[in-house]
Chains A and B, each alone.
Chain A
Amino acid sequence: MKKTPRIAAPRASRYLASGPLVWVATMTCTTLLLLALKQALWLVVPFLLAIILYYALFPTVRYVALKGVDRETAAAIVSGLSLLLVSLALVPTLPWLAAQAVSGQEALFRYLAGGRLLVERSLLMLESQFGFLKDLDFHAEMSRRMQDFGGSYVKEHLADVLLATAAWLPAMLLAPFLAFFFLRDGRRFLKYLAEAVPNAYFERTLYMIDRVDATARAYFQGLLKLTMIDTFCLALGLAAIGMPSAFALGLMAAVLAWVPFVGSVIGCVIVVLVAATDFPESPWVVYAAIGLFLFVRLLDDFVFMPLTVGRSLHMHPLPTVLLIFLGGAVAGIPGLILVLPLAGVVMVVAGTIGGIVNDPRLGARHTFAKKLRGQRITADLQP
């Protein structure tokens, strides 16, 4: 993906106000938006997927538009072809997916049993190493709790989870539909937005729209790049230690990592369960998988993330962590995924509005323009 060149060196930032007030406004607005979004979660999740799809397809639409095709047609061609490709890719996997759906519950319990066996073995090993654990009867207690979890809790809630997933499916079909309209009419919408602004604030609005778009684009395209890198690293590592379906597992873990903190842990747990079930006699495969996840996590945090997603938001790590906790507390898992891009966009909008409020000249120009218009309207109404 080509990097957008700058017409001139560093981007002006005087338009963006900063300071404690802007930060408080950013945090408050982000929290309020998350609370509002929580009420319409059925729309937020497909909306989020649509944004990711939009930024994934946007470079191709741009390329087709470069060939002289108008934007609407380019969006239709790219969306149609993508849908066709996905359908073609799904057709051969349908029998496999159907088989998995039928044996899904059985597979789930098999992997849970594999995981339980691994934990039990590890606990027994720990008990043999540390006497106080044996005195506490740690292994027996943990086994009983895991038995309860696997035996009753999962069985009780599995149906609810499956029903909830089925209820979400129609909403998910909104995602490609929304993405198509973002691709087709996104620019027109931004143009209408700019047209609605009075002349005095026009250039500030252009700046804000440009920064909001750049922030969201950098974040989501960075996220997609990070997913590709993670998939590649994990698939390579898992294949090297002999895990089956290394690519599928790597991709699943990389997509789960979209949820900060929790996602990576869930991805790792899934891979560990698969390793423990498929290689019950080779615990080193499990340890190697855990080691691989830790290694990729470190690479993510210190190398890949600063190069991809980290460049988009320009936030200090401390407020970033605070925001992630805030997002999780206010809106759960969607909140965890949404909070950073949302805060990035809110920060630009709050900064721009702060800049406008702090510039009395803009207000004076707007008043002057209104006065001119008033004079023009009433010119022939003077006594």
Chain B
Amino acid sequence: MLSFFQGRNETPRLGTLRQLALFSTLSRLEIRVVDALLHERRYLKGEIIFDEGEEGQALHVVIAGKVVICRQGDPVGGRVAEIDAGVAFGELALLENAPRALQARADEDCVLASLSRGDLESLLVTHAVIASKILLQLARQLGRQLRDRSAAAEPRPL
């Protein structure tokens, strides 16, 4: 009976969120639940998103633009990773409750969707399926990053 009350319109924003890797496995209804929790932030090129050593209170997903992860104050020489649209970052500080390991800066004008720690925690209680889908996607992303870095670090035999 409750399905009668479920909205049926798919807004462009929901379509955009669905294309992000972190939310790609969520159903239409689940996306709507997550959308209500996300904060959209806009950063100009060069603007700092977070500093090294800060306590992380949110994980961010790049909706548009590019973010660079670098050593504090060295966005050119100390560049560690580039985060393109659709990819999440800042999740490690949230998962480990550790300070941010590196600085994040907008490499281009960008739009981010941010999910706070409190909301992720409450998702675990209220929408365990959604939380587990998001966390599984995060685990996959971390695995991929680990594999990429291992591959880059080890010289392959000719």
Contact = CB atoms under 8 A, between A and B. Distances in A.
B and A form one assembly? yes
Interface of A: 2-12, 14-15, 62, 64-71, 73, 77, 187, 191, 194-195, 199-200, 202-204, 206-207, 209-210, 213-214, 361, 365, 368-369, 372-373, 376
A362 to B, nearest CB: 9
A68 B29 contact: yes
Interface of B: 2-3, 5-7, 29, 32-33, 36-37, 39-41, 43-51, 54-58, 94-98, 114, 116-122, 124-127
Contacts of A67: 2
A89 to B, nearest CB: 24
A207 B95 contact: no
Given A5-B121, A68-B3, 19 more contacts: A4-B121, A4-B125, A5-B124, A7-B95, A11-B97, A66-B126, A69-B6, A70-B6, A77-B5, A191-B39, A199-B41, A202-B39, A202-B114, A206-B39, A207-B55, A207-B116, A210-B57, A361-B51, A373-B44
Given A5-B125, A214-B118, A207 B39 contact: no
B50 A203 contact: yes
A65 B43 contact: no
B47 A8 contact: no
Contacts of A68: 2-3, 6, 29
15 contacts: A4-B122, A5-B125, A7-B124, A8-B97, A64-B2, A68-B2, A68-B6, A68-B29, A70-B6, A202-B41, A202-B58, A206-B118, A210-B116, A365-B48, A372-B46
Contacts of B40: 195
A272 B130 CA distance: 54
A214 to B, nearest CB: 7
A4 B125 CA distance: 6
